[in-house]
């Protein structure tokens, strides 16, 4: 049986990891939304596929409401002012917690993958010849 075209098993539905990816990018330097989206596209998480811009802006707004991100308007020659986003001290603290959380998840995922490999190998050996 084949997976559907866009399947979670291909890793394309890791939306919950967008927050730490955004925070990691902002930890390096303040960024405009467009620049942030381009940088996320080049991150290992996105594998060359740009995230949905509206989802990134919704996340930035939510993080701003929670006090983890702030923005400063920067003048634009071609239109309305742009927003330059940066992490606040609360955002930096949250980012540190993400590191610990993802480290723990990584170890648990490695254990799960090993379990899955064993189960797959065992099921292959049980198939009739």
Report the CATH number that the domain containing residue 113 is assigned in CATH.
1.10.10.10
Count up the domains in the chain and report the number. Answer: 1
Residue pair 98/68 in contact by the 8 Å Cβ criterion: no
| 95 part of a folded domain | yes
d(CA 15, CA 33): 17
d(CA 22, CA 56): 8
Give the structural domain span for 104: 15-126
Tell me what pLDDT residue 25 has.
Answer: 95
| 105 part of a folded domain | yes
Residue 71 CA to its chain's centroid (Å): 20
| 7 part of a folded domain | no
The pairing of strands 31-32 and 69-74 is unpaired
| 10 part of a folded domain | no
Which among 79, 74, 75, 61 is positioned nearest to 22, based on CA atoms? 61
Tell me what pLDDT residue 14 has.
Answer: 64
d(CA 50, CA 93): 27
| 92 part of a folded domain | yes
Q: What is the pLDDT along the chain (129 residues), one digit of tens a residue?
A: 555 555 666 665 566 789 999 999 999 999 999 999 999 998 888 888 888 999 999 999 999 999 999 999 988 888 888 999 999 999 999 999 999 999 999 999 999 999 999 999 988 776 665
d(CA 125, CA 127): 6
């Amino acid at each position: 049986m084949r997976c559907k075209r866009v399947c979670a098993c291909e890793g394309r539905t890791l939306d919950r990891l967008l927050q730490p990816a955004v925070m990691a990018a902002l930890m390096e330097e303040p960024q405009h939304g467009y620049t942030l989206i381009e940088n996320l596209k080049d991150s290992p998480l996105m594998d060359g596929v740009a995230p949905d811009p509206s989802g990134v802006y919704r996340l930035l707004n939510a993080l701003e409401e929670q006090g983890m991100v702030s923005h400063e308007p920067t003048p634009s020659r071609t239109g309305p002012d742009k927003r330059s986003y940066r992490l606040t001290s609360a955002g930096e603290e949250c980012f540190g917690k993400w590191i610990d959380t993802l480290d723990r998840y990584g170890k648990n995922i490695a254990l799960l993958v090993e379990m899955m490999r064993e189960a797959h190998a065992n099921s292959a050996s049980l198939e009739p010849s």
